[in-house]
Each structure stands twice: as C-alpha cells, then as structure tokens.
Amino acid sequence: MQFVMVPNDGVQRTSFASLRSARQPLTPTVGLLLASLGTRLHLAPLRRVRSSGATHLSHILGGSPAKELKMKKVGTGVLIILGVGLLVWLNYAFFTGKIMGLPPEVKAALQSDDEVEVALLEDDSWLVMTPAKIAPTTGLVLYPEGHRDIRSYALISREIARQGFQVVFLSRRLEIEYSEAKEQQRIEAVMTAYPQIESWVVGGHTWGGQVGVDYAANHPDRVAGVVLWAGRMDGTTSLANSNLPVLMVYGTWDDENVNLVASNKPFLPEHTVWVMIEGGNRAQFANYGPMPADAVATISSESQQAQAAAATIEFLSSLSE
C-alpha cells in the first residue's frame, strides 16, 4: 500500500492523522508532533517508490536525484570492498590454516629434527624439506592442488626428504590466474637457490601437475623426470613424444578414476610408470580434508601417503641408477 500526500488541489489525500485508526493510539505529544510534521510536509509529496529494491525518501530529506545516485555509488563501493575483504579472509582462513588450524600430525611434521630440516621461505610460499643427514643430489619441485595450503603436504614431503631427496612445494594461494611464464621463473628460482642439486624432477598433485608438465615440456634438458599424483592434464601440453621418465600415482577412488588413465594417456609417454593405490582417492595425498567431488577413500590418508611416498622414492632412486 502507498500513502501519498499531495497539495490541497481537491485530490483526495491521506494525512498522518487519518492513519491513527490503523495503528495504536498515539499520545497527545506524539500526535501533535506528527500533525506538525504533516503540516510542514503539506507541499512535499511523500511517496514510497520502489527502484532496484530500495525505498527513496529524497523528497522528504531534501536530497536531489544526483545526491541519491552518489549515495548509491558509495553504498555499492562499500559492498564491493566488504565482499573482497570477505573473500580475502576466507582464502586466508581455508588455505593458510592459520585461522582454521592444521591437524596435529601436520604441525608435528613441520618441525625440524635430526632427520629433516623444514623451512618456509619466500613469504611462506616455499615449503622446503631437506635431509639432515644426507647431502641430497636429487631435488623434487611440486605444486599443490589449486590454491591448497602447501603445509598440508608436510607428511608425504617429510617421508620423501627423509630418504635423501630435497623436496620443495611451491604455493599458488594468492594467484588469480595461471601464468606459465611466471611459474617457470619460480621453478628456476628454486633450482638457482639449491645449486648443489644435480638432478631436478618436477610435477604436482592433481591440476598442480600441469605446471610441472608445462615446465618439463619446455625445458626437457633441465629436468630428469616428472612426478604426478592424481595428475590432471588439460591437453594443451603433451609429453607423449618425450624421453623423460614419468610417474603417475592415483587412487582407485579418485573421483575421475574411470577416465583418469584414459584421459591422460594420450599426453604422456608410453614408458610412463602407473601406480594405482587400492582404496585411495584424490584428496588424501595431502591433509587438507575431503574434496566435494571426491569419493570416500577406503584406506586412511596415512596409508595412502605412505604408498605414494614409497612409489615416488623408488622412482627418484631409479633416476640415478
């Protein structure tokens, strides 16, 4: 219902006083105030106008349409800022673990001891695991699933490093879009930072493996092999004709396990080593929790990571034979 006050031109109007019958009785003081307000607004139309879901009272408040438009822009700007702030907070909460927390076993794996030295470098964008008792000569550069927290790969990384291999996970948490050139520069920055490493292997988990594949395809002379955990490939880059050794480890309960092998085979060399983990799924290569599309694994994450680490260690060891 709309209540309209118009000038005294013979057109029927409804004043504040006539609304008393539809509301609770007013005190004399309130009634006088409303009557006074009604008199003052006698020549000012009072309309409840719907526009973009908002109620405008610019005629009552003495504002102009230009002012009203300006206020709309300010309000929209505030909402955008709040929205961006919320997205940043959610990104920080879910993908850093500093607000949502990390499992106790992951926190323990992130501590250096007499077997593995652990470091978070480059503003926490590098997770580096270095053998403490052995001078490593083979290094492994890996990328996580999407924007996942690289620290959630601490357990599997530690096991590989414990066997004498340098492991570096590179975070993509703050990236808006994938830049192949930028990631190749980051991989080379890692190689430069550890000149004692004689052979480098690249790869990653799920779509993170695509970054390693891209680098290996473009720089086959700089890497000794490729490691993929539940790897996904978009088909833009192929290693089908490459002589590089490739390892693919995947679980039977991967959400795309039916087509995972078939979809990736055309882009990988025939000599690719395929290792299937019975009961494993896509997410349990790390400890960031279940993924919406993933089937529930029938083995524990500890078992899956132990098997994946063993397959990776065997593969890395074979490169120096």
pLDDT 10s digits, 118-132 = 999 999 999 999 999
Residue 159 confidence (pLDDT) = 98
Q: Quick one: which of 155, 174, 181, 172 has its CA closest to 208? A: 172
Token digits of residue 169:
């996970």
Residue 1 confidence (pLDDT) = 43
Report pTM.
Answer: 0.71
What b/e sequence results for 13-39 when a residue is b if at least 16 CB atoms lie within 10 Å of its CB, and e otherwise?
A: beebeeeeeeeeebeeeeeeebeeebe
Q: Quick one: which of 164, 90, 98 has its CA closest to 106? A: 98
Contacts of 106 by beta carbon, 8 Å cutoff, 6+ apart: 97, 151, 152, 154, 155, 287
Q: Tell me: the pLDDT tens digits for 66-83?
A: 767 777 777 787 888 888
Contact 203, 140 (CB under 8 A): yes
What is residue 16's three-state secondary structure?
coil
Other Cβ atoms closer than 10 A to 154: 27
> Would you say domain 103-318 falls under CATH 3.40.50.1820?
yes
The pLDDT of 244-254, averaged and rounded, is: 95
